[in-house]
Chain A
Amino acid sequence: MNCQVAQEKITEGFAAGSAVLSQDVRTHQENCAKCRLFYKQETNLFALLDAGLQNLANQPVPTSLLPRLRAALEQTPLHHTFTLPAWSVVAVAATTVLVLSLSILWNRGQRAPLGHERAPVEAVVSKKTTPKSPHRSDARTTDSIRLATKTYTISPRAKMSEPVPEVIVAGAEREAYTRFVATHVGDRVRTPMTNVDSASAGEATLEIASLRIKTIEVQPLEGTEEEEP
C-alpha cells in the first residue's frame, strides 16, 4: 500500500465518523512517519470540524422566540378560505387555450363547404369586374342578366336545408325583377341572351318573355383601359 491510498483511507474513515483504521492502513502507518503525521492532522481537523458544526447548529435559542411566535399566532386569523394550488391555475389556462383553439378549428372546418358553394357566384362577379372576353360589353350584359336570372330561378326553389348562394344584386335591378315577376308570373323566361352573338352585340335585342330590351349601351368604367379585340 502506498501513502496516497493509505491517506485516502484515513480521511474516509474519519469522514464516515469512525477513527478505527483497517489492518493494512495500520501496518502501513507503523512503517511510515509521514502517514502517522497525516493521521494526527486528520484527527485534529475532524475534531475541529465536529466542534465547529456543533457550535453552528446548537446556537442558543433566543428567549424572545416563543413569546414572539405566540403573539404572531394570535394576530393571524385562521380563515376557512379555499385556496387553489398554483398548478390548477396553469391547468385551467391550458384547458382554456385548448378549448378555444379546438373551437376555432371546428368553425373553420364548417365554413369550408360554404366557401365552396359560393365560388361560382363569386366567379360570375369577378367576371363582371375583370372581363377577359374581347367583347366586354356583351359579357357584362349577359353576366348581369345571368345574375338576375339566377336570383329568380334559385330563390323560390331553394330548400331550407340547401345553402342559398349569395348574389350581389343592385337595388334597381331587384325592383325591376319584382315588377317583372309580378306581371309575368308563369311566363317562360327565355334566356337566349346568354348566347348572344358577339357580332351583333352592338345593337342586340334581348328578349325576356315579353320584356324587350333595345339598344344596350355599355360603357367602360372610368379609369379602365379598353382591351384590344
Chain B
Amino acid sequence: MQELVLNPPGTTLERDAARQAETSIRDEFEARLAECGPLAFRVANGVLRNAADAEDVAQEALLRAYRRFRELRDPARFKSWIVRIAFRLALDRWRSRKRRDTRETAWSSPGNAPATPSVHEMAEANEFQVRLARALDELPEKLRLVVILSAMQGYTLEEVSGLLEIPVGTVKSRLFLARKRLAEKLR
C-alpha cells in the first residue's frame, strides 16, 4: 500500500534548497571579496585617511552589497557598485566626523581641548601631505572620487571610467580640473 505523505510549506526539502542557494551566493560573493575588499578599503581610506575607519566602512559596504547581492542584475557592475557604496559611506562618515570636530571645537573649553601636537610630532608629520589632504577635502565629491581612483595603482583611466560608469573623456576632464584646483591650493 502506497503511503501518502503531505509536505507542508517550509519543509526540509525547501529549506535545503534555500540553504544551497545561499551557499552558492556566498561562494560567489567570497570569490569577489579578495579583489573588492581592498578596493573598498582604499576608496574609503582616500576619503577618511584613517585605516581603522576605512576598514569599518569597507566592511559595512561589503555587507550591504552582500545583503542585496541577489538584486544585482549585471555581475560585471559589481565593482562599480562596491566603489559607489564605499565612497558614499565614507563621505557620510567623513561629514559626521567633520561636524563632530566643528561642534567640539566650538563648545569645548580650552582646558578640555586636545593637546596640541609637540614640535617633534609636527616635524614628523609631512606638511605637504597634510596640506594635500586638506585640499582634497575641499574638492567636490565627483572630482575627489576620480582623483582617488586615478591615483590607485593598477587602475587606468579606462578602468576608472568603467568603475564610475562615465565616459573616459569625462574622467579626463574631471581629473584635469581636480589637479588644477589642487595645484592652486598647494602653490
Contacts and interface: CB of A to CB of B under 8 A. Distances in A.
A65 B151 contact: no
Contacts of B133: 56
A69 B37 contact: yes
B183 A45 contact: yes
Given A49-B183, A76-B67, A55 B129 contact: yes
A49 B182 contact: yes
Interface of B is mostly: helix
Interface residues of B, number: 47
Contact of A56 (B55, B136, B172, B180): B136
A45 B187 contact: yes
A46 B151 CA distance: 13
Nearest to B173: A16
Contacts of A48: 128, 186
Interface of A is mostly: helix
Interface stretch (A7-15, A90-98, A100-108, A181-189): A7-15
A53 B58 contact: no
B182 to A, nearest CB: 6
Contacts of B179: 14-17, 46, 49
Contacts of B180: 11-12, 15
Interface of B: 18, 22, 25-26, 29-30, 33-34, 37-38, 41-42, 45-46, 49, 51, 54-55, 58-59, 62-63, 66-67, 69-70, 128-129, 132-133, 136, 147-149, 151-153, 172, 175-177, 179-180, 182-183, 186-187
22 contacts: A14-B179, A15-B176, A16-B179, A17-B175, A17-B179, A48-B128, A48-B186, A49-B179, A53-B147, A54-B151, A56-B45, A56-B148, A57-B149, A61-B38, A66-B37, A69-B37, A69-B59, A69-B62, A72-B59, A73-B26, A73-B29, A73-B33
Given A56-B49, A64-B55, 11 more contacts: A17-B179, A49-B132, A49-B179, A53-B136, A53-B151, A54-B153, A57-B46, A61-B42, A62-B41, A66-B34, A69-B59
